[in-house]
Copies of this chain bind each other. A is one copy, B any other.
Amino acid sequence: MSDYKAPVRDMKFVLNEVLAADRLLATMPGTEEVNEELINSVLEEAGKVAASLLAPLNRSGDEEGCQFSDGKVTTPSGFRDAYRTFAQGGWIGLAGDPAYGGQGMPKMLAVCFEEMIMAANSSLALYAVLSAGASLALARHGNEELKQAYLPRLYDGSWSATMCLTEPHAGTDLGIIKTKAAPQADGSYQVTGTKIFITGGEHDLTDNIIHLVLAKLPDAPAGPKGISLFLVPKFLPDANGEPGERNNLGCGSIEHKMGIKGSATCVMNFDGATGYLVGEVNKGLACMFTMMNYERLTIGLQGLGLGDASYQTAAAYARERTQGRAATGPVAPEQSADPLLVHPDVRRMLLTMRANTEGARALAMYVGSQLDVAYFHPDEQARTRASKLVALLTPIAKTAFTDKGFEACVLGQQVLGGHGYVREWGQEQHVRDARIAQIYEGANGIQALDLMGRKVVHDRDALLDVLVDEIRDYIKAEQNGRASPFIATLSKALDCLVSTTQWIRDASAENPNEVGAASVAYLELMTLILYLYMWSRMVSTASEALEKGASDKDFYTAKIQLGCYFLDRLMPRYKALAEEIKAGSDVVMAMDAAMF
């Protein structure tokens, strides 16, 4: 099993060269001190933490799994110490609010860190990213008292957090949850109900666990507009802020799963547990969406990171394993066979993995940069514009990164043949661990519906126009530039997107089923366009660096070659997607339900 190496060089390229991060960050109060030197040193430190602290526990954590006994969860050997060391490094609060002990780093840098820890050990990383996401929701929507009591403990990792949404009968459809919150005389609430699939609901890594729970007040309206958000700690803080009285909640069992076996997935029972309202009554879903949108991008990074980890093992194997001969004649005549890399189809698998991974990585940092603008930028118009891009791009990033990430893990397993199916090389674990990312945090089909329905067809904020205008401006500026073949296809594909969007808008006005019938193919069409947009920008930047005589010639040359592979071999699919969409919904809805 080859060791994980964080893709620091590629991240520096995108952040510093393609996105010119320090120029952007310098313009915004709160990020002005984050310069290229700081970016590079955070990336390098993060890479070391991921590779040396988290990665070594990845396979043993899978083998051992979490154990449940008498309401207690024991995480795999080594997890507790590693988590403490990790937390003490300040990593959990990396992008946290400095007023409460966070490091205040921009999101465009934090996404790099999250990709690394997810790649190195998704199970262990999940405890951290849930704490970071819950902190964000609390920082945005909690009152001052809650923030002071909980944020410093969450940022320093002595406490962790969860998000409690799903119930046995209510997963995607949160409007029908049954968990109740009864108001108490002291302003607190008593929360009662059962939540399932709660990641990190119970474990032995931290001194306290803070649950963010969706529940309904007694008089709440039916459906999603009657949901409120509550903070429910495992131990109620005492007068000194230390974990005090045990709250009335507990873990009923943990799930036996396909993968992420070091992550405890819990059934949580709240039995009149004391909780505190976060945000306004009946607006809990909107507050929770702050955390959910954060986690959606982060879970996207899980797919991306695991795809990269799988690539690294597969590429190392293909360089070393000898089997067969090159079609053009032996390249290693002194050996009984040539390295796998001489075979075009082995390269196809590796290049497909990597072209999607590097396209996704650039897009992740791009989305991160828009999150930073939306939060830190002094100009309101700039913030609004960036918020619109984030709203549009979040479901795409979550779905694209996890679908292509899973596909990459499957390809990376295939490169190793039978050796990929046995446990030894770790490739089968990557497949199992990546699979969940397509399912949780809103299944990918739901993300596509969110994009197609809320963000495109029924949208009144012209979200799509912001993106289309940006890419059109880019095309105009670059059409005779260094990446002109990319620009030509990007222009055609964008026209295809615009006409297909119009077709769906028109068709769905007649028949609302057109939205759901088109959604997944539409998201995939958007993905191809966004990846091509990123590849165009990366190829331009790399070409410019080569022209200027950059020293790292091999890196830039490979980057351009990989971009060409994406353009020539992965992009042609976009036209078929438009055709599939325009086949319409009738053929999807025709069959009688009884005949399924």
A interface, CB within 8 angstroms of B: 166, 169-173, 176, 196-197, 255-259, 265, 315, 318-319, 322-324, 327-328, 336-337, 339, 341, 343-351, 406, 410, 413-414, 417-418, 420-424, 428, 431-432, 435-436, 438-440, 443-445, 448-449, 511-513, 515-517, 519-520, 554-555, 557-558, 561-562, 564-565, 568-570, 572-576, 579-580, 583-585, 587-596
Q: Is the CB of B591 within 8 A of A258?
A: no
Chain B residues whose CB sits within 8 angstroms of the CB of A587 once the complex forms: 561, 564-565, 568-569
Q: Which 3 A-B pairs have the closest CB atoms?
A: A344-B516, A568-B583, A327-B512
In terms of DSSP, what is the predominant structure of the interface of chain A?
helix
* Contact yes or no, B172 A417, CB < 8 A: yes
User: Which one of B406, B520, B594 contacts A348 once the chains associate, using CB atoms below 8 Å?
Assistant: B520
- The answer to whether A554 and B592 touch across the interface, beta carbons within 8 angstroms, is yes
Cβ of B585 and Cβ of A445 under 8 Å apart?
no
**A319, B564: Cβ atoms under 8 Å?**
no
Taking the closest CB of chain B, its distance from the CB of A333, in whole angstroms, is 13
- Decide: B318 and A258 in contact? CB cutoff 8 A: no
User: Distance (Å) between the CB of A198 and the closest chain B CB?
Assistant: 11
Q: Are the CB atoms of B344 and A421 closer together than 8 Å?
A: no
Residue on B nearest A578 in the bound complex, by CB: B572
Q: What separation, in Å, do the CA atoms of A569 and B435 have in the docked complex?
A: 25
Residues of B close to A172: CB separation below 8 A: 323-324, 417
| Contact of B569 with A580 in the complex, beta carbons under 8 Å | yes
Instruction: Pick from B431, B585, B593: contact of A341, CB below 8 A.
Output: B593
Identical copies in the complex: 2
Alpha-carbon distance between A443 and B349 when the two chains are bound, in angstroms: 13
List 17 other contacts, CB 8 Å, given A345-B517, A348-B520. A255-B423, A257-B423, A319-B593, A328-B512, A328-B513, A339-B593, A347-B596, A348-B517, A413-B435, A414-B438, A420-B439, A554-B595, A561-B590, A561-B591, A569-B580, A572-B576, A576-B576
A343 with B516: CB separation less than 8 A: yes
Nearest B residue (CB) for A593: B341
List 17 contacting pairs A-B, 8 Å CB cutoff, sorted by A: A166-B418, A256-B424, A315-B596, A327-B512, A327-B513, A328-B511, A344-B588, A345-B449, A345-B520, A348-B520, A406-B410, A421-B436, A421-B439, A421-B440, A558-B595, A568-B587, A570-B580
Known: A418-B166, A517-B344, A561-B587. A596 touches B257 (CB 8 A): no
Given A173-B337, A319-B593, A596-B341, decide whether A423 and B347 contact each other with a Cβ distance below 8 A. Answer: no
Q: A354 → chain B, closest Cβ, in Å?
A: 8
In the docked arrangement, what's the CA distance between A406 and B324, Å?
A: 27
| Chain B hits for A561, CB < 8 A | 587, 590-591
Pick the residue among B255, B414, B440, B445 that contacts A345 (CB under 8 A). B445
Taking CB atoms, residues of chain B closer than 8 Å to A448 are 345
Q: Which of B256, B414, B572, B585 contacts A344 (CB under 8 A)? A: B585
Q: Contact: A414 with B443, CB < 8 Å? A: yes
Does A418 lie within 8 Å of B440, measured CB to CB? Answer: yes
Instruction: Note all chain B residues with C-beta closer than 8 A to A418.
Output: 166, 171, 196-197, 439-440
A169 to B323, CA, bound (A): 8
Closest partner residue, chain B, to A328 (CB atom):
B512
